[in-house]
Chains A and B, each alone.
Chain A
Amino acid sequence: MNKVVNNRAWWLVLPVFAMVLFNALLPLMTVVNYSLQETFGNNEFFWSGAIWFEQLLHDDQFHASLLRQIIFTSIVLVIQIPLGLAIALCMPRSGPWVSVCLVLLALPLLVPWNVVGSMWNIMALPDIGLLGKAINSLGIPYNYTRQPISAWFTVVLMDVWHWTSLVVLLCYAGLVAIPDAYYQAAKVDGAKPWAVFRYIQLPKLKHVLTIAILLRFMDSFMIYTEVIVLTGGGPGSTTKFLSIDLVQKALGGFDLGPAAAFSIVYFLIILLVSWLFYTLMMRDEAK
């Protein structure tokens, strides 16, 4: 759509601008302030330069949680994107079952995150939970409060349960938007189902898949509540992801400076990766 140049449109954007400014910029300034200062309480601050950032760069604990976070996000993306796409392809295109499926699929998205954690916590209890009991009765030792592998398995399974539906909904919306003419043309050419998927559906889904990957990347990188309720970051600190580490530093230790430096680096990583991914995807589009 060709848009008219009109700077008075700023008046329409002003409320949003003001609200987000209040909500984002003020806190962000506070964080930047803290990250460059040293405090001994009493609201007295001293300029400390980049010392907290340097400290963070050499902080083994930070490295460990960053590594865990990257592994977790990668696993989650590798499972959820193909699975979500596959489920979307299995969905009926029309008929009374579409609404039923959509409502059931969207259900996990509406569960408060701490309830998601409790739900899986209860489900995975080795002696009285459905999942824990089932795995143990297969002869596999499973106890998510003791074994790191079990804990990781439970956390990943929980996230797949919780968020794959979002990928399904997005992909399904993309699939429904493909005009029938494409499929008819494929039929005339005698295209196999795989060819239809590879040369019609996948290219048409590129846009929604980009959105899905971006959203899943951001949200899995920020995961906090579900994991803190399910495993509390344990056993030991084997499922301590970045947000858990940060909240412990910021609210537990009152180490304002290091926590603020952590926050800024954390936010910048997400922004940078999202921006890089988005630009790469869209550059291909322009060609």
Chain B
Amino acid sequence: MRKRYIVLTAYIVFLLLPIYWLINMSFKTTNEILGGFSAYPREFTLDSYRTIFTDPSWYGAYINSITYVLINTVISIVVALPAAYAFSRYRFLGDKHLFFWLLSNRMAPPAVFVLPFVNLYSAVGLFDTPWAVALAHTLFNIPLAVWILEGFMSGVPKELDETAYVDGYSFPAFFIKIFLPTISAGIGVAAFFCFMFSWVEMLLAKNLTSVSAKPIVAAMTKTASTSGYELGLLAAAGVLTLIPGAIVIYFVRNYIAKGFALGRV
């Protein structure tokens, strides 16, 4: 028993070390970072964070990122809910093919879609808006949301639906008032994964925006390369990108493990 916990602890320490190193760097001055190796900041400074919170090109980029991530999560969940319900309750023409076609989009490398997406979203006038990124990310988030939600919905006995219809509920009323609260855990898990995959993606987010909707992931690469090598600033920006994820994960901590396991392949 004890051996197990040593392995587990060692692994978690391994996970936390790079994160510690990032935090450590974010509190150092650039001179100290480049000056040599030190395991903790000798000249503790908040300058990097101050820069980020006062420079609009930095904090604006955070706002842009959060905007498209939220739009993406809402769209993905709203359209995936009825579809997942259909897949979990009914058989219809081409249902299996459709389900696998949806999942196959999860297998599409973003690198394949970059160029056509730039063309497509320029053509419809959405290039360089949060909407372009949000819609582009639905390509892999909608299939994922449908998959996870379908798993959760299949776990709800069909008698629930039938009783509600007998009680005189219409479909929309039943769906919103009874069904959605029942699978709220599933919605939480699906939203978590949509949030996560949209938040961490860079290739599409960077190439579908230029100036006005520039996301934090693009702001970081640019700053790192143009103004020399400001490691402290880069580290601080990185630390700040960890926070939204950490908040979201705290809320769904009891459900994350269930998310994929309940989904059928």
Contact = CB atoms under 8 A, between A and B. Distances in A.
Does B associate with A? yes
Interface of A: 1, 3-10, 12-13, 15-17, 19-20, 23-24, 26-28, 30-31, 86-87, 89-91, 99, 101-115, 118-120, 122-123, 127-130, 133, 161, 165, 169-170, 172-174, 176-177, 207-208, 210-211, 214, 218, 221-222, 224-225, 229, 242-243, 246-247, 250-251, 256, 259, 263, 266-267, 270-271, 274, 278, 282
What does DSSP make chain A's interface, helix, strand, loop or mixed?
Answer: helix
B22 interface: yes
A30 B121 CA distance: 13
Contact of B89 (A3, A123, A165): A3
B144 to A, nearest CB: 10
B220 A115 contact: yes
A122 B85 contact: no
Interface string B94-131: 01001001101111111111111101100000000000
Nearest to A2: B158
Contact of B79 (A19, A26, A90): A19
Contact of A104 (B15, B37, B87, B117): B15
A187 B26 CA distance: 52
A129 B142 contact: no
B249 A107 contact: yes
Contacts of A263: 109, 111-112
B71 interface: no
A169 B107 contact: no
Contact of A13 (B83, B120, B242, B256): B83
25 contacts: A1-B154, A5-B92, A6-B90, A13-B82, A13-B92, A15-B83, A19-B135, A24-B139, A27-B116, A27-B117, A27-B119, A27-B120, A30-B116, A101-B12, A107-B245, A111-B200, A113-B202, A114-B202, A161-B18, A169-B256, A218-B106, A222-B111, A251-B114, A266-B112, A271-B107
Given A101-B8, A110-B245, A224-B111, 14 more contacts: A13-B82, A16-B82, A19-B79, A19-B135, A23-B105, A27-B117, A30-B116, A111-B19, A114-B202, A119-B21, A225-B201, A266-B109, A267-B107, A267-B109
A1 B92 contact: no
B175 to A, nearest CB: 10
B194 interface: no
A225 B203 contact: yes
Interface centre among A90, A91, A211 (most CB of B within 10 A): A90
A93 B80 CA distance: 32
B111 A16 contact: no
B15 A12 contact: no
Contact of B104 (A103, A176, A229, A271): A271
